[in-house]
Amino acid sequence: MSADKKKKSVKIICENLRRIRVISVPIFRPYRRDAAKEAPMKSDIPQLMHERGLDALVVYGNTDTSSDLAYLAAGAHLERAMVLHVRGQEPVLFASVLERENAEATGLATRLWSDYPLSRYLQETDGDLAAARIAQWRDIFADYGVQGRVGFYGLMDMGFAYRFLTDLAAALPEIEVVGENPPNLFNAARETKDAREIEIMRAVGQATTAVIANVFDFLSGHRAQGDALIQADGSPLTIGDVKAFIRMELAKRNLEEPHPTIFSQGRDAGVPHNAGRPDMPLRLGQTIIFDIFPRDRATGYFHDITRTFFLGHAPDALVEKWLDVKRVFDEVMAAIRVGEPGGKFQQMTCDLFEVMNYPTICVDPQTTVGYIHSLGHGVGLDIHEGPRLSTIGPQTILRPGHVVSVEPGLYFPDDGWGVRIEDTIAFDENGEIINLSDFPYEMVIPVRA
């Protein structure tokens, strides 16, 4: 066997072993929780209702945008649906007749909106649609014995939500409309992932890093001409070309980009959410922030990972900046652990950057340069969810089952650069870190001379 073939076959064995290892994790194992570390999750919804004094809850919306509804609908796509959960009863899913089989596939008890036909209520209300909707919900609530404190969740036009719930409260004196400030019941439940969710998220991480690996290979397969990267025909390779490649790599893996991938270069990388200008040619020796956070279409879960790299070579002055961020990243990754509030690690990040003489938002909340965002956020059915690694707002203690991004960065657009390094990590049942972003921290991608 040639050395090359050997290498290849070892690689295959390793891949198979890796696959076997993943498969051997029993994916339906209920999450074993230590009372001392306990944090609420999906199965705790009745308890979370009890703590809030809720007699019922309603989650309304479209599963493709309302992630709380997607959380309950377990992967089904429903355009206009409602979960009604009365304390002590099984939740009921209301769906359109057009989506009745998607609804049934959730395993929840289902009802059809047409069981309460709007056309009938419109007759009752002389064609007043708003009044007809209230009458429809009045009958549904009556049939399911909804009374007392009712919490409402799911995305809706904010003005309509205010109007509808105000009118509903007026029409149904037996209920009290409860609207929660964040973090609400679903924020609390969703921020803890069970073992099944973590396995899903591990797989989404693997698919995402496979995309990154192919993007890196794609780039290093190109040739430099002067300080530009060029294609086979001699034309410059642009950010738009790279993004088109990324799109195909994502589509192959059934990943989607509900929010656009960031591939930003030089000064543009100096503003964290600049996504990169499609017509910009790639240049050697500049910081390129590649922040990719796709959603798995099959399960709805996101992954979030960032690498900053240089094509061809890295100028000494920027190598230092890159290493500064990497040092902070490493220190925070070594320190972060369960039992501490998320804000503690944001403060640590600020302190480390300040020692290096960079401006930070901890000292100046209005700075536009230096370290200007929070350290990280929960990742799940939303790209940004709880717990937040931020000093601002209510502090969540990190717990087993939490999945968060860790993403220190530095931004100086006027000096032509930005650096961010990010992994998404999960805390397992023992509080150990599982890094879901298994990809090396490359600084320079070599390109062909």
The reply to whether 74 sits near its own copies by the rule CB under 8 A is: no
CB of 155 to its own copies, least distance (A): 4
CB of 258 to its own copies, least distance (A): 6
Q: In whole angstroms, how large is the CA radius of gyration of the chain?
A: 25
Of residues 13, 14, 213, 392, which one binds its own copies by CB under 8 A?
392
Q: Which stretch binds its own copies (CB under 8 A): 41-49, 199-207, 367-375, 423-431?
A: 367-375
The reply to whether 155 sits near its own copies by the rule CB under 8 A is: yes
Of residues 368, 428, 433, 439, which one binds its own copies by CB under 8 A?
368
Interaction residues for its own copies, span 114-143 (CB under 8 A) = 114-115, 117-120, 122, 129-130
The reply to whether 157 sits near its own copies by the rule CB under 8 A is: yes
| Strand-strand pairing, 92-95 and 109-112 | parallel
Task: Return the number of the residue (30 or 179) whose C-beta is nearest its own copies.
Answer: 179
Among 315, 375, 378, CA closest to 350 = 375
CB of 336 to its own copies, least distance (A): 22
Residues in Cβ contact with 230 at an 8 Å cutoff, skipping those fewer than 6 apart = 222, 223, 224, 236, 237
Measured over the CA atoms of residue 70, residue 74, residue 80 and residue 83, the dihedral's sign is: negative
CB of 224 to its own copies, least distance (A): 28
CB of 444 to its own copies, least distance (A): 26
CB of 408 to its own copies, least distance (A): 14
d(CA 38, CA 52): 18
d(CA 384, CA 377): 6
> Which residue is it, tokens 């929780």?
33
CB of 20 to its own copies, least distance (A): 24
Interaction residues for its own copies, span 220-279 (CB under 8 A) = 244, 247-248, 250-252, 254, 256-260, 268, 271-275
Interaction residues for its own copies, span 22-61 (CB under 8 A) = 60-61
Interaction residues for its own copies, span 189-208 (CB under 8 A) = none
Residue 404, number of CB atoms within 10 A of its CB: 27
CB of 59 to its own copies, least distance (A): 9
Specify whether the CB–CB gap between 325 and 408 falls below 8 A. Answer: yes
Of residues 94, 153, 290, 412, which one binds its own copies by CB under 8 A?
153
| Strand-strand pairing, 148-153 and 109-112 | unpaired
Of residues 65, 89, 231, 235, which one binds its own copies by CB under 8 A?
65
Among 118, 89, 113, CA closest to 103 = 113
Of residues 44, 55, 68, 423, which one binds its own copies by CB under 8 A?
68
Among 384, 376, 432, 398, CA closest to 39 = 398
Q: Is the peptide bond before 173 cis (omega within 30 degrees of 0)?
A: no
The reply to whether 363 sits near its own copies by the rule CB under 8 A is: no
Residues in Cβ contact with 262 at an 8 Å cutoff, skipping those fewer than 6 apart = 273, 274, 275, 276, 289, 290, 291, 292, 306
Task: Return the number of the residue (122 or 319) whose C-beta is nearest its own copies.
Answer: 122
CB of 427 to its own copies, least distance (A): 24
User: Under DSSP, is residue 430 helix (H, G, I), strand (E, B) or coil?
Assistant: coil
The footprint of its own copies on this chain (CB under 8 A) covers a number of residues equal to 76
Interaction residues for its own copies, span 414-443 (CB under 8 A) = none
d(CA 408, CA 276): 20
Task: Return the number of the residue (161 or 434) whose C-beta is nearest its own copies.
Answer: 161
Task: Return the number of the residue (32 or 120) whose C-beta is nearest its own copies.
Answer: 120
Q: Which stretch binds its own copies (CB under 8 A): 32-40, 85-93, 172-180, 333-341?
A: 172-180
Q: What residue type is assigned to position 220 of the chain?
A: S
Q: What residue type is assigned to position 439 of the chain?
A: F
Helix (H) or strand (E) holding 109: strand 109-112
Of residues 3, 355, 365, 414, which one binds its own copies by CB under 8 A?
365
Task: Return the number of the residue (390 or 400) whose C-beta is nearest its own copies.
Answer: 390
d(CA 8, CA 323): 33
> Which residue is it, tokens 């993007």?
215
- Cite the DSSP H helix spans in 180-238: 185-190, 195-220
Interaction residues for its own copies, span 290-349 (CB under 8 A) = 297
CB of 6 to its own copies, least distance (A): 29
Q: What residue type is assigned to position 226 of the chain?
A: G
The reply to whether 216 sits near its own copies by the rule CB under 8 A is: no
Task: Return the number of the residue (27 or 177) whose C-beta is nearest its own copies.
Answer: 177
CB of 268 to its own copies, least distance (A): 8
| Strand-strand pairing, 262-265 and 288-292 | antiparallel
